Amino acid sequence: MNATGNQGIATAPPNILVVENDVIVRTAVSAYLRECGYKVTEANGADEALRVLESDIAVDVVFLEVDIPGRMDGFALATWIRRERMAIKIILTSGVSRGAKDAAALCEHGPMLVKPYDHANLERHIRQLLAKVST
């Protein structure tokens, strides 16, 4: 059986775009998600994330820090993703709670993960979001 539970049909692992300007946090999260079997693309801010999202790289879930460098913050980038790439799921994270109501409107599962978050909890969120796509 493959990652989706189907026999015979091989599918690529889901791709998670991790947008985090703290290189230590981004590297640790990305390494953990790779160990869980996901393909991971990394971006250190909004401008890098937009380049990835506008490229031919397929992205299934964006794990996005609210306070990122670039021409827009995480809320604005999440709004852009909602408008331009509606199939992509979004998980916001922040060390500062700014507008849980805003975050809830931009995320499919819960308002936001607050730092420090548990990596296993993040992976559970991702699995739940991806399960919603296939049901």
Assign residue 87 the CATH number of its domain: 3.40.50.2300
Q: 79 lies in a domain?
A: yes
In this prediction, residue 2 carries a pLDDT of 43
Provide the total of helices (H) and of strands (E) in the chain, helices listed first. Answer: 5, 5
In this prediction, residue 1 carries a pLDDT of 36
Instruction: Tally the domains of the chain.
Output: 1
The residue written with tokens 């031919």 in the block is 56
The residue written with tokens 């999260």 in the block is 29
Q: 19 lies in a domain?
A: yes
Structure tokens at 89: 């799921």
Give the range of the structural domain holding residue 81, as residue numbers without chain letter: 15-130
With a CB cutoff of 8 Å and minimum separation 6, the contacts of 83 are none
Q: How confident is the model at residue 130 (pLDDT cuts 50, 70, 90)?
A: confident
DSSP state of 15: E
Q: What stretch of H or E contains 62?
A: strand 61-65
Beta carbons of 36 and 83 less than 8 angstroms apart: no
pTM of the complete model: 0.79
Q: 5 lies in a domain?
A: no
Q: What is the mean pLDDT of the chain?
A: 83
Q: 48 lies in a domain?
A: yes
Q: 135 lies in a domain?
A: no
Q: 6 lies in a domain?
A: no
Q: How confident is the model at residue 7 (pLDDT cuts 50, 70, 90)?
A: low
Phi/psi at 123 (5° precision): -65, -40
- The CA dihedral of 31, 98, 126, 107, to the nearest 10 degrees, is -150
Segment 26-34 shows an average pLDDT of: 95
Q: State yes or no: pLDDT of 9 exceeds 90.
A: no
Stronger pLDDT, 69 or 133, i.e. the higher one: 69
